[in-house]
Amino acid sequence: MSKVGLVYHPIYLKHDTGGHVENSSRLVQTVALLEKSKLMGKLVAISPRAATLEEVSLVHSRNHISRVQSYSARGGGWLDGDTYASPASYDVALQAVGGVLNGLDAVMAGEVNHAFALVRPPGHHATADEAMGFCLFNNIAVAAEYAKRKHKLDRILIADFDVHHGNGTQEIFYSDPRVLYFSTHEYPWYPGSGSIQEDGAGEGKGFTINVPLPAYCGDNELMRAYKEILIPVAKRFQPQLILVSAGYDPHWADQLSLMQLTCSGFAGIVSIIKELADELCQGKLLLSLEGGYHLEALSHSIKATLEVLLGNTPGADPLGKPRGAMVPPDIDSILEEVKARHKLK
């Protein structure tokens, strides 16, 4: 059985967004389920810490960091149309980054095989200079850059299954061949980026791989994207570490997408990624929470993820198949186009 770390701390509840869809109930309900199902006791607790200014500056401008800090210091406010900072948000966002870094250090030190960072605010939309899409600092991007510098890695794979394209992560590593960014997402959808043609620049050409998918894709379509694209990509890239932007908003019950994944579908995707980590990089795998807004779907999907990481078979999916399911689209031509662009056949 694998040793699996869970990064969590009640400080993550203090990013107070009021009635916003990205609110503290997401973690409260998830932690309650992990405790009730006795899964919590099987995980290695990893405490977060505040990331230092130097660490956050690995990917963010000082101007951006100061702006988040000053919004919080002034009592909070909207950084963009849908991204809110409360008085505590700056400190909480530092703890989210620092939590992911502590999870990463635990994985790299071999204290755990894999880790899941149950943190908020999320991160993958935050660019070097801007907060957006509920994200203040880009947790997974800081982790990738930190892994390069501190752990001297030069091949890091980031897989992002959030339903929204991780524009911030893509932008930060767009010219960097040492960080391969792979994303499946609903398209066209917020934030608008993530086409097949966006495939990196300069030395990073070919190291951004987008699989934009139409509405109503379900477990089968997403699993195909991971089997047919991510597996050959990862085997070619030979990562030393796999990071995952784990967003559970493609779930069929989630109000922020039109996708139709089930909890079992997330378990299937995570199994593929875990097998790649076990085969290619001694299991070195760290997942960090991004989206997922239907509380029951989110908590059960995270539970299924953790079961897979532990090497268990997840139990029955309590939400079951999509209610009022739409016929999934044919994604053959999209997958073929991605394979052709990235020379996967």
Piece of 46-54, 271-279, 288-296, 302-310 that binds Zn ion (CB under 5 A) = 288-296
Q: In the structure encoding, which two tokens stand for residue 302, read together?
A: 């995270």
Smallest distance from the beta carbon of 53 to Zn ion, in angstroms?
A: 27
Question: Is 40 or 258 the residue whose CB approaches Zn ion more closely?
Answer: 258
Burial label for 24, CB within 10 Å (0-12, 13-18, 19+), is: middle
Question: Cβ–Cβ contacts within 10 Å for residue 157, how many?
Answer: 28
Q: Is 160 in the site for Zn ion (CB under 5 A)?
A: no
Nearer to Zn ion, 283 or 291 (CB): 291
CB 107, CB 286: distance < 8 Å: yes
Sign of CA pseudo-dihedral 30, 36, 42, 44:
positive
> Which lies closer to Zn ion via its Cβ, residue 204 or residue 250?
250
Q: How far is the CB of 166 from Zn ion (least distance, A)?
A: 9
Find the binder of Zn ion among 3, 60, 64, 164 (CB under 5 A). Answer: 164
Cα separation, 136 vs 78, in Å, equals 11
Stretch that binds Zn ion, among 53-61, 247-255, 258-266, 275-283 (CB under 5 A): 247-255
Neighbours of 262 (CB within 10 A): 23
Is 294 one of the catalytic residues? Answer: no
Q: Which of 247, 283, 314, 322 forms a contact with Zn ion (CB under 5 A)? A: 247
Measured CA to CA, the distance from residue 91 to residue 159 in angstroms comes to 27
The active-site residue out of 9, 124, 125, 342 is 125
Closest residue to Zn ion, Cβ-based? 291
Judged by CB under 5 A, does residue 162 bind Zn ion? yes
Sheet holding 285-289, edge to edge: 44-46, 4-7, 114-117, 285-289, 241-246, 156-160, 179-186, 208-213
Angle between helices 295-310 and 25-36 (to 10 degrees): 50
Name the pairing type of β-strands 208-213 and 241-246: unpaired
Q: Which range binds Zn ion by CB under 5 A, 6-14, 201-209, 289-297, 308-316?
A: 289-297
Residue 55 interacting with Zn ion (CB under 5 A): no
User: Judged by CB under 5 A, which stretch of 12-20, 91-99, 149-157, 244-252 contacts Zn ion?
Assistant: 244-252
How many residues at the interface with Zn ion, by CB under 5 A?
5
Transcribe 113-145 into DSSP letters. SEEEE--SS--TT--SS--BTTBSS-HHHHHHH
Q: With binding defined as CB under 5 A, does residue 291 bind Zn ion?
A: yes
Instruction: Tell me how far, at minimum, the Cβ of 295 lies from Zn ion, in Å.
Output: 15
Catalytically active residues are 125
Q: For binding to Zn ion (CB under 5 A), which residues are involved?
A: 162, 164, 247, 249, 291
